[in-house]
Amino acid sequence: MGKQSLYNIEISVDVKGFGESDSWSHYFGFRKIESTIDDSTGGRIFKVNGEPIFIRGGNWILSDGLLRLTKKRYMTDIKFHADMNFNMLRCWGGGLAERPDFYHFCDVYGLMVWQEFWITGDVDGRGIPVSNPNGPLDHDLFLLCARDTVKLLRNHASLALWVGGNEQVPPVDINKALKNDLKLHPMFVSYQTSKSEVIYLSEESTDPSKYLDGTRVYVQGSMWDGFANGKGDFTDGPYEIQYPESFFKDSFYKYGFNPEVGSVGVPVAATIRATMPPVGWSIPILKKRIDGYIEEVPNPIWDYHKYIPYSKPGKVHDQIELYGAPKDLDDFCEKAQLVNYVQYRALLEGWTSFMWTKFTGVLIWKTQNPWTGLRGQFYDHLQDQTAGFYGCRCAAQPIHVQLNLVTYFVEVVNTTADELKDMAVEISVWDLDGACPYYKVTEKIVIPPKKVKQIIEMKYPKMKDAKPVYFLLLKLFRLSDNGTISRNFYWLHLPGQDYKSLEQYQQKKIPLKIDSDVSVSGTRHKVRMTVENISKKSVVDSTRSVSAMDLGDASGSHSTRKETTRKGNGSDGLWRKIRSGLGVARPSDNRRTLEVSGTDSGVAFFLHFSVHTSESSTDGEEYNDTRILPVHYSDNYFSLTPGENMAVDISFEAPQGSSPRVVLRGWNHHLDHAVMI
């Protein structure tokens, strides 16, 4: 949506002879937000400075019941959402109006805010049994609080709209009062006039002081007027595991804007151990039913923490068991991260595939947790990101290459206002033996602004010798300089197959080279990690025309297109080769190199960084969580094909006096590959 320029205003009142009596300051920004119901989709559409914005965001349910969050915590939370490429946060009506720091950082990071008042259907007229439809008890007090809230928040540029309630409208008198208080100023109302017609507005009707806000629409409820079916029926959701391809089906959701759709959210094993007693470390029992589906039975602690199963008996086969029955907590949580990534990437890619033709937006239920719950989240209460975080980050790129999981056509999404010219898409398939049996490049692509363009069918699954499990790498790049704009890595199976062969793939020893460049200022650390898959690769004859390449029947082929990579500068003489997975290079400057030995060729699968103190993770019988949190990663849970490298920027604040370790693990890299800082 462009740069978020903010300006600071300072106002002070001086009393002659006595000095300053009062002062006030506030950051503000200039923008115009419009919102109407789209005629073609029936969904609500938002425009910022005249440009339609396809909404991809989430539901913020609550920060902390005792309002204990610090300014730094709010900054991290909101930056996490910006890092996922989200553009809207909904402050859910079952929660509260957030503290000013929340809105300030939404201003800073450019997230629009949907602000709901404190009406929610489960306690205000709906639910089972049906609750009191006339709640809240004191209507005058409610309206007094609502008006004070508007005055508190209305100067924030991020605030996009007011909504009366969650899955419910306020009682008639409150709703009428809010509609009147929050009516639009005439400058923000579109008038349909003929050329000869002139509308005269009285001075009183244009006086800004007569309006409590006047610049933002008021919608009476979260399922009314362009949201869900627009009539208040329960048409948001669902909130459970889905087959990834379901999100790409036209039948999955009928309406133009879904304010709530959710799924699973198990965190990493370290979070389970850090937040639950050992009795809570047992994983769900997988009970196979007579119809072949699996029913998950969680332990009582997980059930209390609102665990959402990774299966839906009768409808969706267990998505964790697709990778093999989990052996223990670590195995369960690692496989859960695979599913988290696939699930949420598919959700956003499926919605975006219908951008403007069927949908105008979607908000995921939910993005974060005010407690140590297990229900839908992209980072846990301790602020460690799940793999779903990075699935969203990938899918919500402003310019994005993706695979339609129903048609198997490659699509390019352009949510920007600029036309993309002279683009190319590279498709490469890698099998578990390290070969590239399918490769194709399509050149001279033009993608119109704010459009999804279908490029070409990915036909590998139709080949007679297609492997049951394979990796797919898509790249969108500029022909002018070969610079990659979007990269998207999939692991897929043929129809009727599963991912159990990936368990054997864990035994593959893929060699890696890890370069680090470290900058330290006080306790603040910035690290650039460049990871390279140095396993052997086959090379395509570079004399052939790239635009004509279609190596669907060629085995062991790979592109020779030169990539634009990000590597730090430094003397090779300062690098040191480390053979052990736990080896550490200690050169005299801030550069380090670690090489992980391996004799196999293939994809280095599902690599992920974490940052730890130098302490042990066990202290007698007690679990000692060594993670340093929060940490910002430019990417994580990534995979590298032979010869590929990726630079990941990592920033964090280490505890005073600690010696942090940046650790790399992966599906076929089980030991900690650590670079000491």
Could you read off the pLDDT of 231-247 as tens digits, one per residue? Answer: 999 999 999 999 999 99
> How many C-beta atoms surround the C-beta of residue 315 within 10 A?
12
pLDDT at 666 over 60: yes
**Average pLDDT value for residue range 48-74:** 93
**For 286-384, where are the alpha helices, taking DSSP H only?**
300-304, 329-353
Residues carrying an active site annotation: 167, 260
Query: Nearest to residue 453, comparing CAs of 342, 352, 361?
Result: 352
Query: Nearest to residue 39, comparing CAs of 176, 216, 230, 188?
Result: 230
The verdict on whether omega for the bond into residue 238 sits within 30 degrees of 0, i.e. cis, is yes
* Gap between the Cα atoms of 186 and 189, Å rounded: 5
For the ranges 186-200, 282-296, 502-516, 619-633, the lowest mean pLDDT is seen at: 186-200
Q: What is the pLDDT of residue 19?
A: 93
Q: What are phi and psi of 89, to 5 degrees?
A: -120, 135
CA distances to 279, 310, 371 from 304, in Å: 13, 17, 12
More confident residue, 59 or 623: 59
Place of tokens 């001086």: 14
Query: Nearest to residue 42, comparing CAs of 225, 233, 187?
Result: 225
Q: What is the pLDDT of residue 670?
A: 79
* Gap between the Cα atoms of 674 and 663, Å rounded: 4
**Average pLDDT value for residue range 560-586:** 35
* Gap between the Cα atoms of 645 and 535, Å rounded: 11
CA distances to 84, 126, 217, 251 from 121, in Å: 29, 5, 21, 27
Q: By the 8 A CB rule, do 228 and 326 touch?
A: no
* Gap between the Cα atoms of 609 and 571, Å rounded: 25
* Gap between the Cα atoms of 522 and 387, Å rounded: 30
Region of 472 on the Ramachandran plot (φ > 0 left; ψ -120 to 50 alpha; else beta): beta
pLDDT band at 250 (very low <50, low <70, confident <90, very high): very high
pLDDT at 366 over 90: yes
* Gap between the Cα atoms of 609 and 677, Å rounded: 14
Across the chain, what does the average pLDDT equal? 90
Q: What is the pLDDT of residue 551?
A: 41
Structure letter (DSSP) for residue 349: H
pLDDT tens for 78-90 read 999 999 999 999 9
Q: What does the longest C-alpha to C-alpha distance in the chain come to?
A: 92
pLDDT band at 561 (very low <50, low <70, confident <90, very high): very low
CA distances to 2, 163, 170, 270 from 216, in Å: 20, 10, 18, 43
Rounded to 5°, the CA angle 621-623-626 comes to 140
Q: What is the pLDDT of residue 104?
A: 97
pLDDT at 572 over 70: no
587, burial (CB in 10 Å: exposed 0-12, middle 13-18, buried 19+): middle
Q: What is the pLDDT of residue 380?
A: 97
Determine the 3-state secondary structure of 275 from DSSP: helix
Fold of 399-505: Immunoglobulin-like (2.60.40)
Q: What is the pLDDT of residue 618?
A: 58
CA distances to 22, 181, 508 from 530, in Å: 52, 55, 21
Percentage, residues of the chain above pLDDT 70? 89
Beta bridge partners of 633: 650
Sequence-ordered list of residues with C-beta below 8 angstroms from that of 96, at least 6 positions apart, any chain? 62, 63, 118
* Gap between the Cα atoms of 211 and 185, Å rounded: 7
pLDDT band at 580 (very low <50, low <70, confident <90, very high): very low
Percentage, residues of the chain above pLDDT 90? 79
Q: By the 8 A CB rule, do 664 and 535 touch?
A: no
Beta bridge partners of 513: 532, 595
- Structural domain boundaries in the chain: 31-192+201-265+348-371, 399-505, 512-540+565-676
137, burial (CB in 10 Å: exposed 0-12, middle 13-18, buried 19+): exposed
Tokens of 139: 């209507």
* Gap between the Cα atoms of 128 and 611, Å rounded: 45
More confident residue, 306 or 588: 306
Could you report how far apart the first and last alpha carbons of the chain are, in Å?
37
**Average pLDDT value for residue range 310-329:** 98
pLDDT tens for 387-442 read 999 999 999 999 999 999 999 999 999 999 999 999 999 999 999 999 999 999 99
Q: What is the pLDDT of residue 552?
A: 44
Q: By the 8 A CB rule, do 617 and 624 touch?
A: yes
CA distances to 239, 462, 519, 658 from 522, in Å: 44, 56, 10, 12
For the entire predicted model, the pTM comes to 0.91
Q: What is the pLDDT of residue 589?
A: 64
**Average pLDDT value for residue range 316-326:** 98
Pick the CATH number of 512-540+565-676 from 1.10.8.100, 3.40.50.1820, 2.60.40.10, 3.40.1190.20: 2.60.40.10
Q: What is the pLDDT of residue 297?
A: 98
pLDDT at 567 over 60: no
* Gap between the Cα atoms of 280 and 300, Å rounded: 8
Q: Do domains 31-192+201-265+348-371 and 512-540+565-676 have the same CATH topology?
A: no
Q: What is the pLDDT of residue 581?
A: 35
Q: By the 8 A CB rule, do 93 and 126 touch?
A: no
pLDDT at 61 over 80: yes
pLDDT band at 615 (very low <50, low <70, confident <90, very high): confident
pLDDT at 24 over 60: yes
Q: By the 8 A CB rule, do 1 and 29 touch?
A: no
Q: What is the pLDDT of residue 536?
A: 80
pLDDT at 553 over 70: no
Query: Nearest to residue 350, comparing CAs of 274, 403, 416?
Result: 403
The dotted CATH code for 31-192+201-265+348-371 is 3.20.20.80
Q: What is the pLDDT of residue 616?
A: 66
